[in-house]
Structure 1
Amino acid sequence: MLFAPVSTDAPIYYRPWGTISLIVVNVVVFLLVQGGAFGRPDEIYLQYGLWHGAGLRPVQWITSNFLHGGIVHLLLNMLFLWAFGLVVEGKIGPGPFLATYFTIAVVESAVQQLCLMWVTPGVSFGASSAIFGLMAMALIWAPRNDITVGYTWIMRTGLIDIPILQFSLWMIVLQVLLAFTFRFHVTSEILHLGGALLGAAIAWQFLRRGWVDCENWDIFSVMKGRHLTIDGEAPAPVRSTRRLTRDGKPARKKKRIDPLTRKVKHLTRLRGLLHDGKPRAAFDEWTAARHFSEDWTTFESDMVNLSAQLQQAGYVSEALEVHLHFIERFPGSADRVRIEAAELMFRHQKRPHAAMRVVEGLDVESLPQDLAGRLQRLRDTAGKLIDSGHIEIEGLPSRAEP
């Protein structure tokens, strides 16, 4: 089975010029080396690959990251670079992204060469370690976003969406298992893990110093539940990336995105995700937008579409949360939504008392015939369950835990 990530639904606030530049340079270098522009390819690999057991060679700390052993090696690395570069560069911009990429590449290569100075001479090359560093950063900064993975299996090919958290952890666990198989000798798996460890450390530093704004969707905020805060304390304020000029002085701060522009961006991403049939990601985008502005809301049609897609995908609790918010925001046109919300509470959560409170005050005779029938059946069945002595736990959350 062959697979590789090809895209992501993570919010992107910068055009990926840094990622594109790295891909172009890698491809051009590969074509020139394979075409013999610099001499025999094997001599180039020996001269500019990362040597082990032959002392420290700082030039190789950079050059080795642009050499690839074949077209498949290059293709897979560039696909991984594209997908995870979008996530990382999309949050911090081209300049900080390139600085981070080369920091991971150079530091990992230097540590690798230093630790292997006394082993049997050998050579390694490729961008994999730096890319694993980017993957670890994406894992920390955007664990709940999806990565679109292309795969081929025997005669079948296709695309699937996998959460970055799940995909990245799977890749890291795979490297650990392979390293264990080789008794943790120096193999590519160990080098990948080294890059991932360095990337994770850098991602944590960015968060700790406020150099990146993950909108409370980083892994630490998710673990603490801050990404779900709606009626409690407001999330931490947005902090833009700080940069230093060459003389070490703070650079001029970037202009913040005004609230109206941010609302439009959230609405655009929400509609795009619904159009692509990604209700779970759309729900997360809807929730994130509400965190930044208590009065943010989308149009009635968008909320109806979101709720319908969530129900079809099996996210009943999330659909119910959208229904309840719709009722709060649009009480004058919420008769149908109130009945649907009550039906979800009764059928899926066994909460007849709560269901009856949602439809309290609705007049059967003033409703269209289809809604009137549904409301009457709901009241009859829920009433029977209440009369039978059904005990309902108050405060049962309307949103399923992830």
Structure 2
Amino acid sequence: MLLPIRTDRPPRHRPTVNYVLIGLNVAIFLALEFAVPVPLAGLIKQFGTLDTASPQLHQFVSYAFLHGGWMHLIGNMVFLYIFGNSLNDKLGHVEYLLFYLAGAIFSGAGYCLVSVSLVVGASGAIAAVTTGFLVLFPRSRILVLFWLYIITTFEVSSLVLIGFKMILWDNVLIPMIGGAGNVAHEAHLFGYLFGFVIPLVLLAAGILPRDQFDIFSLWKQAYRRYRYRQMVRTAQKPLWVGMKQARPVRPDVGASRPAEEEALPADEHSRHLVAKIAESIDRYDLATAAELYLKLIDHNPDAVLPRRQQLDVANQLMSNRQFGEAAEAYEKYIRAFPAGEQIAQVRLLLGIIYGRHLGHPDRARAMLEEARRTLGDSTQRNLCQAELDRLGE
């Protein structure tokens, strides 16, 4: 058995209305059980029970304050306390009371449409409170008490506990396999529907203030991550594949290079490694070129390859997921060739590396801001903005 104990979203103000509702439910139950003479208690229960075959207007409220037994009462009050306190705090006292009563009315009316029976209990109203909590605090964690052969506690996401366990399992799957026959599952489902839709509408209309914790914020961030993945797939095939590779340059071609590409390291070993890197790139063997480049950097940390070759090697290191080495190679490219081609894409890649892989958000933002100002491709600009938004979360 699972029983919620508390959430990680305690109310900031005293949830007075929720306490009053709990007190009323308990007081009415105790009075009918112990204080009121049995014949009168029977008449009160008959008067207040919702008869779906011939409902009276008052019954749509009164049935929610009657309970069929101790376990019925205790179970409902535990859930009302756990989820109602935070909802009372968020909505305010009057609004929460109206929401609670409307949830009871809606779930009772819905049950009248699908069943002919007598029904009592606050379960429909509490179901509305529960999904109202889910809409406003979908990221919350709930501490749950579990006991079967052992007794233990664990934390679970509100989406899992409310969405899967309480709605899908308890009120859809269990009735389908014939369990829990004396429970008005349909009333629960109508309550869940009301509690989900009404806060959603209030948030969408701006009547209920939005914040970073509600379900719209969750959807927005999920969509942002989806867009980011889509842009990465389209713009990053991977992204560095779109950068021009160095053309093969053979000793007998004799093609002239810009002055910025002709500087070679002074020592013999470095020149030998640079030559081997060039040969590897000529053969399109970029994996070997990247390995040789790392040897070159170990020997001569200040070494920089010719412009196209430096970019090719940096791209290959990125492809190898050697993010630290790739970032260093891209940084050298920017410092050595500030007017080089595709400099904006290099800054975009550096922003992604620093932000997602190396844990340097400030450096990532600096690179991404500069890239956003200079990128010409709209897809890459969107990718850049998505990454900046992610860093700002």
- Give the TM-score of the pair, scaled to structure 2: 0.55
Structure 1 residues 394 and 11, CA gap change in structure 2 (3 angstroms): same
Structure 1 residues 394 and 107, CA gap change in structure 2 (3 angstroms): closer
Post-superposition shift, 1:92? Answer: 1.4
Post-superposition shift, 1:188? Answer: 1.6
Post-superposition shift, 1:219? Answer: 1.7
Q: What is the distance in 1 between the residues matched to 2:50 and 2:125?
A: 14
Structure 1 residues 13 and 209, CA gap change in structure 2 (3 angstroms): farther
Identity of aligned residues (%): 28
Q: What is the distance in 2 between the residues matched to 1:214 and 1:13?
A: 17
Q: What is the distance in 2 between the residues matched to 1:183 and 1:95?
A: 37
Q: Answer yes or no: is the 8 Å Cα contact 1:149–1:161 preserved in 2.
A: yes
Matched to 2:50, the amino acid is: L
Secondary structure at the residue paired with 2:4? Answer: strand
Post-superposition shift, 1:47? Answer: 2.8
Q: What is the distance in 1 between the residues matched to 2:218 and 2:15?
A: 26
Q: What is the distance in 1 between the residues matched to 2:351 and 2:221?
A: 21
Superposed CA deviations along residues 239-260 of structure 1, whole A, max 9, x for unmatched, are xxxxxxxxxxxxxxxxxxxxxx
* Unaligned runs of at least 5 residues, structure 2: 226-320, 330-348, 360-389
Superposed CA deviations along residues 94-152 of structure 1, whole A, max 9, x for unmatched, are 11111110111122223333554xx4xx3111111111111111111111011222232
Counterpart of 2:47? 47
Secondary structure at the residue paired with 2:352? Answer: coil
Q: What is the distance in 1 between the residues matched to 2:224 and 2:20?
A: 37
Q: What is the distance in 1 between the residues matched to 2:151 and 2:210?
A: 33
C-alpha RMSD of matched pairs (Å): 3.6
Q: What is the distance in 2 between the residues matched to 1:217 and 1:65?
A: 30
Query: Would you say how many aligned residue pairs link Structure 1 and Structure 2?
Result: 246
Secondary structure at the residue paired with 1:215? Answer: coil
Counterpart of 2:383? none
Counterpart of 1:165? 159
Structure 1 residues 185 and 150, CA gap change in structure 2 (3 angstroms): closer
Q: Answer yes or no: is the 8 Å Cα contact 1:23–1:78 preserved in 2.
A: yes
Post-superposition shift, 1:17? Answer: 0.7
Post-superposition shift, 1:164? Answer: 1.1
Q: What is the distance in 1 between the residues matched to 2:11 and 2:210?
A: 11
Post-superposition shift, 1:45? Answer: 3.0
Counterpart of 2:299? none
Matched to 1:131, the amino acid is: I
Within-5 A mapping of 1:198-213: 198-213=194-209
Q: What is the distance in 1 between the residues matched to 2:133 and 2:210?
A: 10
Q: What is the distance in 2 between the residues matched to 1:226 and 1:14?
A: 30
Counterpart of 1:395? 352
Post-superposition shift, 1:204? Answer: 1.1
Post-superposition shift, 1:195? Answer: 0.5
Q: What is the distance in 2 between the residues matched to 1:88 and 1:354?
A: 49
* Unaligned runs of at least 5 residues, structure 1: 230-348, 358-391
Pick the structure with more helix per residue.
Answer: 2
Matched to 1:395, the amino acid is: I
Post-superposition shift, 1:158? Answer: 3.1
Q: Answer yes or no: is the 8 Å Cα contact 1:8–1:86 preserved in 2.
A: no
Secondary structure at the residue paired with 1:35? Answer: helix
Q: Answer yes or no: is the 8 Å Cα contact 1:91–1:213 preserved in 2.
A: no
Matched to 2:219, the amino acid is: M
Indicate whether 1:132 and 2:127 are aligned.
yes
Secondary structure at the residue paired with 2:126? Answer: helix
Secondary structure at the residue paired with 1:398? Answer: helix
Superposed CA deviations along residues 75-94 of structure 1, whole A, max 9, x for unmatched, are 11111001111221121111
Counterpart of 1:261? none
Q: What is the distance in 2 between the residues matched to 1:38 and 1:202?
A: 41
- Give the TM-score of the pair, scaled to structure 1: 0.54
Q: What is the distance in 1 between the residues matched to 2:204 and 2:65?
A: 31
Within-5 A mapping of 1:238-387: 351-353=323-325
Structure 1 residues 107 and 18, CA gap change in structure 2 (3 angstroms): same
Structure 1 residues 183 and 161, CA gap change in structure 2 (3 angstroms): closer
Structure 1 residues 150 and 350, CA gap change in structure 2 (3 angstroms): farther
